[in-house]
Chains A and B, each alone.
Chain A
Amino acid sequence: MFVIPEFSALQDAISRVTEAEVLQALNADLPGMAGLAALLSPLAEPHLRAMAKRSAIITSQRFGKTIQVYAPLYLSSYCANRCAYCGFSADNVIDRRVLTFAEAENEAMILHQRGFSHLLLVSGEAPAKLGVDYLEELALRLRDRFAALSIEVQPLATEEYARLFRAGITSVAVYQETYDRAVYEQVHLGGPKADFDYRLESPARVAAAGMREVGIGALLGLSDWRAEGLALGLHLAWLRRHYWRTGLTVSFPRLRPAQGEFKPLHSVSERNLSQMIFALRIFDPDVGLYLSTREEARYRDGMIGLGPTRYSAGSCTAPGGYGQADAGVEQFEVGDNRSLAEVCAAIQQKGFDPVRKDWDAVFQAKGDRQQAA
């Protein structure tokens, strides 16, 4: 089982970093955990340019001159959790909806026509409204029309992940939000998500179920981003050791204004975010790195080729929002409102190939419907 050290111990490790360790980490082939701490430390800040360069070289070597593009499809705004920072929090009085299968398919086909082949199915965490039966049925309906289907929903049991894998789900994202237990308890006021440890163990269940890929992440703005970066490194390394067949990805969502007027507890600048991305790339050359549409177009364009390998585009974070202009409350406000075509043009402008398809449904044996007993 993955056990995370006390958050203060992670912060201590970063505070003990020396200038010499930063230089060593910058020049090491594989800097390891001590090197990651060094690259995340304030002492590495003057070396941001060198970190960017190294991150860019590693990324280009491993992923080539390509960026994968995908779109999120929001299925439901119902949520059983009370998270202080989220627009879908059960505490917020908003109009909620869960898409019918026909509505979800309609949204998916709009994205298909816009040129998307990789979809991320997202929902609030309310198993009673949207559970594994729903996801299985939707995956079976969509799998022949899309190259890859990922989910970002409530944590599930290993057998449930295995069922969804057979139905055609390729990868699963379960973000810890924060590895700082005290802050976690402070912002997760109620609902199943309040259980820190169950969430922490979720990525291992995803991998154990045979999923191709598992995504982890921290919501930046809740606690000290440097220690979050080190925690992500520890989590990645643990997953690699225990589930060597599973691909790994990391996301770096920065808190954006959401319904509920939550103010970030820590500020994370673009320079900070960049340092974190470069540090993780240098630490783990093979990990897929997402850069969210929460970030502004200017920043996303600037980061092309420097480390991130996956960009969402044309995102709407309200269920039904692709077919309907005013579909209701969004989970968060998007910072980059450009269409897929515009994002692809920006990627090409930078000398990279926007890759729409990098998987195939055929990899996965076709399972039958297996409704819960």
Chain B
Amino acid sequence: MLTIAGRKFRSRLFGGTGKFSSPEVMKEALAASGCEMVTVALRRIDLNNPADDIMSVLDRDRYLFLPNTSGARDADEAIRLARLARASGGGEWLKLEVTPDPRTLLPDPIETLKATELLVKEGFKVLPYMNADPILALRLQDAGAVAVMPLGSPIGTNQGVLTRFQIEIIIAQAQVPVIVDAGLGAPSHVAEAMEMGADAVLVNTAIAVAGDPVRMARAFAMAVEAGRIAYEAGLGAVSKDAAPSSPEDGLGFLR
């Protein structure tokens, strides 16, 4: 079972709350996904308003809320948001997003590291969204991040695991869980990430903007499970040569 900062998760699929056509569709899709951790943009919610449309439809006993700092351009802004979230009862868990370029929303490695160092000291459980840079993953881990969240491809692009080569290195090196986040557009993409040995994946856009978000959420859940089982079962090696399923190796004459 996946454990992050001492907390156990049965599902290795994490969800998001953005881009849905209504809070009701979001609620149903998250339920269908079976996820237990849901990230919520602090900019979208009113923490002081119990009737907030996102927070009020989701059951806090069922989901661990992972507030995120989406929109922050530097460490200072992210830190301010994080402190506010905690002061308003948002807890210690935090998905740290520092994205200075509003076009690509790619994470700033320098500001992300700075913010992680400080927020960890303040007692936050930090899960930083990061580019798929293996050295940065190690630096964030050393700074006390409870997991790392490398991107598969730029957020919202549905392009899949374009950073495969670097993510393989991150998975091989990391001492903390690796959650592939962003750009996973199809169940096959998450299956690929899970087969590679990712500990979990986070999917939002692909579910939220699907023709039928509820069915799509289910498809992603199944793919995550399939990918994980395949990883645990041990995938066969990839070879350039054909290998017959009933081997006839041509050495049958040996005694």
Interface residues of A (CB under 8 A from B): 60-66, 117, 147, 212-213, 240, 244-248, 286, 348, 351-353, 355, 357-360, 362-365
| A247: min CB distance to chain B, Å | 4
CA distance A213 to B102 in the complex (A): 9
CB–CB B43/A245 < 8 A: no
Chain B 154-183 against A: per-residue CB contact (8 Å), 1 yes, 0 no?
001110000000000000000000000000
Is there contact, CB below 8 Å, between A357 and B44?
yes
A335 vs chain B, min Cβ distance (A): 26
Is B80 touching A362 in the complex (CB atoms < 8 A)? yes
Q: Does residue B72 face the partner (Cβ distance < 8 Å to A)?
A: yes
Q: Mark B82-126, 1 if CB is under 8 A from A, else 0.
A: 001000000000000000111100000000000000000000000
Pick from B22, B76, B80: contact of A348, CB under 8 Å = B22
- Tell me the complex Cα distance, A277–B152, Å: 31
CB contacts (< 8 Å) of B102 on chain A: these are 213, 245-248, 286
Question: Is there contact, CB below 8 Å, between A61 and B23?
Answer: no
The complex places the Cα of A247 from the Cα of B102 at a distance, in Å, of 6
CA distance A117 to B45 in the complex (A): 11
B23, B43, B103, B205: the one within 8 Å of A353 (CB): B23
Give Cα distance in the complex from A212 to B102, angstroms.
9
B20 engages A363 (CB within 8 Å) = no
How far apart are the CA atoms of A335 and B158 in the complex, in Å?
38
The reply on B42 being an interface residue by CB < 8 A is yes
Give the complex CA separation of A259 and B48 in angstroms: 44
Which residues of chain B are within 8 angstroms of A240 by Cβ–Cβ distance?
A: 103
By a CB distance below 8 angstroms, the chain B residues around A351 are 21
Q: Which of A61, A65, A246, A357 contacts B21 (CB 8 A)?
A: A65
**Chain A contacts of B103 at CB under 8 A?**
240, 244, 286
Which one of B42, B84, B209 contacts A64 once the chains associate, using CB atoms below 8 Å? B209
For the complex, give the distance between the alpha carbons of A95 and B205 in Å: 50
Identify the closest chain A residue to B157 (Cβ).
A61
CB of B46 closer than 8 Å to a CB of A: yes
Q: Give which listed residue, B18, B21, B72, contacts A363 with CB less than 8 A.
A: B72
Instruction: Please name 26 pairs of A and B residues whose Cβ atoms are closer than 8 Å in the assembled complex, sorted by A.
Output: A61-B158, A63-B19, A64-B18, A64-B19, A64-B20, A65-B21, A65-B209, A66-B19, A117-B46, A212-B73, A244-B103, A245-B73, A245-B102, A286-B102, A353-B20, A358-B43, A358-B44, A359-B71, A360-B71, A360-B81, A360-B84, A362-B42, A362-B80, A362-B81, A363-B71, A363-B72
Contact B43 A61 (CB under 8 A): no
Tell me the minimal C-beta distance from B128 to chain A in angstroms: 18
Going nearest first, the 4 A-B pairs with the smallest beta carbon separation are A64-B19, A65-B21, A247-B102, A286-B103
**Nearest Cβ distance between residue B234 and chain A, in whole angstroms?**
36
- Min CB–CB distance A360 → chain B (angstroms): 5
Q: What residues on A are CB-neighbors of B158 within 8 Å? A: 61
Chain B: which residue is nearest A210 at the CB level?
B73
Take A240-B103, A246-B102, A360-B43 as given contacts and tell me if A65 and B20 are in contact as well, using a CB distance cutoff of 8 Å.
yes
Interface residues of B (CB under 8 A from A): 18-23, 42-46, 71-73, 76-77, 80-81, 84, 100-103, 156-158, 205, 208-209
Since A65-B19, A286-B103, A353-B23 are in contact, a sample of 13 more A-B pairs with Cβ atoms closer than 8 Å, ordered by chain A residue number, is A61-B209, A62-B156, A65-B21, A65-B208, A244-B103, A245-B73, A286-B102, A353-B22, A357-B44, A357-B45, A357-B46, A362-B42, A363-B72
Given the known A-B contacts A64-B18, A246-B102, are A359 and B209 also in contact in the complex, defined by CB atoms under 8 Å? no
CB distance from B172 to the nearest CB of A (A): 32
A353 touches B21 (CB 8 A): yes
With contacts A64-B208, A362-B81 known, is A352 near B43, CB below 8 A? no
**Nearest Cβ in chain B — how far from A32, in angstroms?**
15
Would you give the shortest CB distance from B89 to chain A, in whole angstroms? 15
CA of A286 to CA of B205, assembled, Å = 15
Q: Which residues of chain B are within 8 angstroms of A246 by Cβ–Cβ distance?
A: 102
| Given known A61-B209, A65-B209, contact A359–B22 (CB-CB < 8 A) | no
* A358 neighbours in B (Cβ, 8 Å): 43-44
Q: How far is the CB of A243 from chain B (nearest CB, A)?
A: 10
Q: With the chains together, A162 CA to B205 CA distance in Å?
A: 34
Quote the shortest CB–CB distance from A56 to chain B (angstroms).
11
Q: Return the chain A residue nearest B52 by Cβ.
A: A357
Q: Which residues of A contact B81 (CB under 8 A)?
A: 360, 362-363
- A residues near B18, Cβ cutoff 8 Å: 64, 66
In the complex, the answer to whether A244 meets B101 with C-beta atoms within 8 Å is: yes
- Asked whether B44 lies within 8 Å of A355 as measured between CB atoms, the reply is yes
Q: What separation, in Å, do the CA atoms of A363 and B76 have in the docked complex?
A: 9
A4 to B20 Cα, complex, angstroms? 39
- With the chains together, A147 CA to B45 CA distance in Å? 10
Which A residues are CB-close (under 8 A) to B209? Answer: 60-61, 64-65
CB <8 Å contact, B156 and A61: yes
B23 cross-chain contacts in A, Cβ below 8 A? 353
Query: Chain B: which residue is nearest A285 at the CB level?
Result: B103
> Interface centre among A147, A286, A357, A365, by most B CB within 10 Å?
A357
Task: Indicate whether A359 sits within 8 Å of B73 (C-beta atoms), given known contacts A247-B102, A353-B22.
Answer: no
| Bound-state Cα–Cα, A60 to B209, Å | 7
With A and B bound together, what is the CA distance between A64 and B44 in angstroms? 14
Residues of B within 8 A of A244 (CB): 100-101, 103
Known: A240-B103, A363-B71, A363-B72. A352 touches B80 (CB 8 A): no
Complex CA distance for A240 and B84, rounded to whole angstroms: 31
Q: How far is the CA of A231 from the CA of B82 in the complex (A)?
A: 40
Chain A residues contacting B19 (CB-CB under 8 Å) are 63-66
**Chain A residues whose C-beta falls within 8 Å of the C-beta of B43 in the assembled complex:** 147, 357-360, 363
